[in-house]
Structure 1
């Protein structure tokens, strides 16, 4: 009885001393501390200097100190290598009055990416497309010191258009809407600043870039592309008629002075300029995204104006939109319907004016990591009717 009491008393006396004596071990890895100190602690416990309760308490404190030392805050460097492959089959309706289209398989995208943290509040992202010849897609250094003004330097997506900013691996359809593809600026080299406010309900992104596209050695003139996007989340986790409900809105604008622009580069397919030209490009757009239970709704409108500097050439006004609905039939199967309209030149009515309707099904085998998308596009154009409906079937694998 006295021996047991003596052990506890000595344990109370020795525990603080032992803990302070072992505290310097927190500078070593957990495995090293365990290897060095646990045999000694076993011996002290065996001799009655520590009780089992004291021993357990010391173990917990040592493990906690080690976990704190090994935390990401103390050792910020990290690196994650990933990638994705999208294999697509395309079949297009043959027009009796036109050239037959060849059905074919295609590697739509094959990307390799690296993401990580260099030091605290400094992240990086690099992505390359190797589906054909290797080409750099994105190369970003992100400075996250200020949540209200996080900076991104390098080559990145310009902050324009909700669907354009959605990664291709998370698109609801196999391809983006034509208006989004034609009117959104390409990936650019420059600087972007963004921040979030009011519990992340309001955010902004503003970029200053060269304005001549990705993978260019330098600016092609002394002008820049200015882009601003604002986003709001009026309802984040609401309820409507007994179902979860959320709503977000966005608006963006862009301005640039372009040099030596080719006709086909003006909003996609316009031929109004004939040859290369110089002028001011203005872009604007707004978007809406709603989620209600298993259903979703998205809509976006985009507008573009190009004013040539040379006299005698008229302005080009382009515009387009899409409206899209989705519903999960099961947890793994989503049905999609989208209607889109795009007019690359409102002064001309021809086959370039597009009115397409897409019916789609997404099968999520393992969420977006492994999924199959099937889209059938009913294509309509102004001018001469063309039979060119298209079927896409695409499988995606993320690694």
Structure 2
């Protein structure tokens, strides 16, 4: 009887130990999110409702499975349509520091400001050129890595070219890639002169591809557009540079896209056109808590007048997760309104990023 009881105890311990070991070795799971709320006011009442807004709301899961796979899954709440949408869904194999391979719905390697997480950008929205010309999230495969102790980073990918849609128009693909060099590498606090430069390149052949907001100006209802269902070839590229010294930062980026359309633009317009623009931004952060920023933001769309704005901002960072910001935009040379900027626009922002 005693021997039988001991045998049962050994068997139960044998079954329990692997479960306990598995529990102790469970893959790490990080839960995070981004919440941006605030208020927006316009000098021109015809631009729509003013008042309090939910600017951005995201929930994300990141983690690792075993020693091979990292994963990232992000769900975004789209306030205008009152719907939840998948924003990121990617699996990455970090083989070596110099090379990793990713699959799924992910952000293409293109543009410096576009590569920043939404919670890390200076203003509420990215610049006009980045919003209009960068490729949005895509389904595809990409590879990237770093070398020279983190000073040199690179990435390139092959994507469907149709945004988040699983469908691929005409079995055509989009290529995008980026390289970047930083004079001192990945160091959190810069106490010396730091110079960073990058270049981006992309190409796509499309039969019905969605493009970024604001490529064509004018009446949002009546004006001819190529912001959706684009058919033709597009070549897009850009260059950027950033110089930092102690509390001062100077950043500039230029982007351009050349469109070769299968049909004339706007029902009789040119079959070949281009759009280009960029920004120059100066920031000063004396004590770490406050940041003053001024930006010139210009964009030449495929149709319509140039859009030139000066944007002024004051940000406060009470800790590593929270941000409060004030933003004011002023149009130059009687520029028309942009999708995200208008003359006399005022924005208050409260953000939590964890």
TM-score of the superposed pair, with normalisation by structure 1: 0.73
1:217 offset after TM fit, Å? 2.8
**Residue of structure 1 aligned with 2:39, choices 86, 89, 92:** 89
**5+ unaligned residues in a row in structure 2: which ranges?**
1-15
**Residue of structure 1 aligned with 2:297, choices 322, 331, 340:** 340
**Residue of structure 2 aligned with 1:119, choices 54, 66, 89:** 66
1:87 offset after TM fit, Å? 0.2
- C-alpha distance in 1, partners of 2:312/2:123? 9
- C-alpha distance in 2, partners of 1:349/1:234? 40
- C-alpha distance in 1, partners of 2:249/2:148? 25
Structure-1 residue corresponding to 2:3: none
Structure-1 residue corresponding to 2:6: none
Give deviations 1:19-45, integer Å, cap 9, x for gaps.
Answer: xxxxxxxxx99xx9xxxxxxxxxxxxx
Residue 221 of structure 1 aligns to a residue whose secondary structure is helix
Q: How does 1:248-287 map to 2 (within 5 A)?
A: 248-261=196-209, 267=215, 269=217, 278-287=231-240
Give deviations 1:63-92, integer Å, cap 9, x for gaps.
Answer: xxxxxx99xxx9371101111210021000
1:169 offset after TM fit, Å? 0.4
Number of aligned residues: 320
- C-alpha distance in 2, partners of 1:324/1:339? 6
Q: Does 1:359 align with 2:312?
A: yes
Residue 388 of structure 1 aligns to a residue whose secondary structure is coil
Q: Does 1:328 align with 2:277?
A: no
Q: Is the 1:128–1:135 contact (alpha carbons within 8 Å) kept by the matching residues of 2?
A: yes
Q: How does 1:233-312 map to 2 (within 5 A)?
A: 233-236=182-185, 243-261=191-209, 267=215, 269=217, 278-310=231-263
Residue 129 of structure 2 aligns to a residue whose secondary structure is helix
- C-alpha distance in 2, partners of 1:174/1:384? 20
**5+ unaligned residues in a row in structure 1: which ranges?**
1-27, 33-68
- C-alpha distance in 2, partners of 1:326/1:212? 35
Judged with a 3 Å threshold, the aligned counterparts in structure 2 of structure 1 residues 243 and 372 are, in CA distance, closer, same or farther, namely same
Q: Is the 2:307–2:336 contact (alpha carbons within 8 Å) kept by the matching residues of 1?
A: no
Further displaced range: 380-389 or 205-214: 380-389
**Residue of structure 1 aligned with 2:30, choices 74, 80, 83:** 80
Q: Is the 1:358–1:376 contact (alpha carbons within 8 Å) kept by the matching residues of 2?
A: yes
Structure-1 residue corresponding to 2:167: 218
Q: Does 1:228 align with 2:181?
A: no
- C-alpha distance in 1, partners of 2:163/2:47? 33
1:268 offset after TM fit, Å? 5.1
Further displaced range: 242-251 or 147-156: 242-251
1:310 offset after TM fit, Å? 3.8
1:162 offset after TM fit, Å? 0.5
**Residue of structure 2 aligned with 1:191, choices 120, 141, 155:** 141
Structure-1 residue corresponding to 2:332: 380
TM-score of the superposed pair, with normalisation by structure 2: 0.82
More helix by share: 1
Judged with a 3 Å threshold, the aligned counterparts in structure 2 of structure 1 residues 237 and 260 are, in CA distance, closer, same or farther, namely closer
Q: Is the 2:156–2:175 contact (alpha carbons within 8 Å) kept by the matching residues of 1?
A: yes
